[in-house]
């Protein structure tokens, strides 16, 4: 946002700007329970450095944020557990939740619509999954308030891990942007 001249195009999935105070609604807060838990010392006391607890915490997110029928849990659980089980590793991985600009609840609850001249001006393609419990497709309604040049594509049967659940769609859009560049 600060240096759009460094990038010709961007392809992203949510999180995206425009969520606003909807993040405080009950369904959203329940989906973002991890963001609240990760701000507490319970992470150090109950999860960090305990491989079984790390695996359970990671499995909870992978299962709940994946599209029905997705094999994301099978693809990632062993690898992520191994990489986050050493003492301090899980805490290091969730540390950004402890800062206002990294915690989605705090960030979106305080989000401000920018002036027209201050909106993100580099072309951005947003691939918005239909099965993401963290960022429902209805929340794509305010994109024009934050991005002056964007294209929205709604992904079918993809959850929060859409690059893994719809890799062909991601590859198609990334390659299209590379060819244009």
pLDDT tens by residue, 115-174: 999 898 889 999 999 999 999 999 999 999 999 999 999 999 999 999 999 999 999 999
Residue 153's pLDDT is what?
97
CA distance 179 to 38: 40
Check residues 4 and 123 and name the one with the higher pLDDT. Answer: 123
Helix axes 51-65, 72-84, angle to 10 degrees: 150
In the numeric block, the tokens 């700007």 are attached to 17
CA distance 32 to 29: 5
Contacts of 171 (CB under 8 A, 6+ apart): none
| Sign of the alpha-carbon dihedral angle for 95, 46, 40, 137 | positive
Statement: residue 19 has pLDDT above 80: yes
What's the helix, strand, coil split of the chain in %, to 5?
Answer: 55, 10, 35
- Are 48 and 90 contacting, i.e. CB atoms less than 8 angstroms apart? yes
The pTM of the full predicted model, rounded to 2 decimals, is 0.90
Torsion angle defined by CA atoms of residues 111, 115, 117 and 123, in that order, rounded to the nearest 10 degrees: 40
pLDDT tens by residue, 25-80: 999 999 999 999 999 999 999 999 999 999 999 999 999 999 999 999 999 999 99
Alpha-helical segments (H) within the chain: 26-31, 33-37, 42, 51-65, 72-84, 89-94, 104-109, 162-165, 167-180
Check residues 135 and 8 and name the one with the higher pLDDT. Answer: 135
- Are 65 and 132 contacting, i.e. CB atoms less than 8 angstroms apart? yes
Statement: residue 99 has pLDDT above 90: no
CA distance 36 to 32: 7
Closest listed residue to residue 149, CA positions, set 2, 3, 56, 10 = 10
Residue 103's pLDDT is what?
87
Statement: residue 181 has pLDDT above 90: no
Residue 141's pLDDT is what?
97
């Amino acid at each position: 946002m600060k240096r759009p001249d460094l990038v010709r195009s961007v392809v992203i999935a949510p999180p995206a700007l425009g969520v606003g105070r909807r993040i405080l609604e009950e369904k959203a807060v329940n989906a973002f329970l991890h963001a609240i838990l990760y701000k507490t010392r319970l992470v150090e006391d109950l999860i960090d450095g305990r491989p079984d607890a790390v695996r359970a915490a990671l499995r909870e997110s992978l299962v709940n944020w994946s599209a029905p029928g997705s094999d994301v849990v099978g693809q990632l659980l062993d690898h992520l557990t191994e990489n986050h089980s050493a003492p301090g590793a899980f805490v290091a991985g969730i540390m950004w939740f402890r800062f206002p600009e990294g915690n989605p609840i705090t960030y979106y609850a305080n989000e401000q619509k920018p002036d027209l001249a201050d909106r993100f001006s580099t072309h951005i393609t947003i691939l918005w999954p239909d099965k993401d419990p963290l960022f429902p497709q209805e929340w794509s309604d305010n994109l024009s308030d934050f991005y002056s040049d964007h294209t929205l594509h709604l992904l079918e049967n993809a959850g929060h891990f859409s690059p893994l659940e719809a890799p062909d769609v991601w590859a198609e859009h990334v390659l299209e942007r590379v060819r244009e560049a």
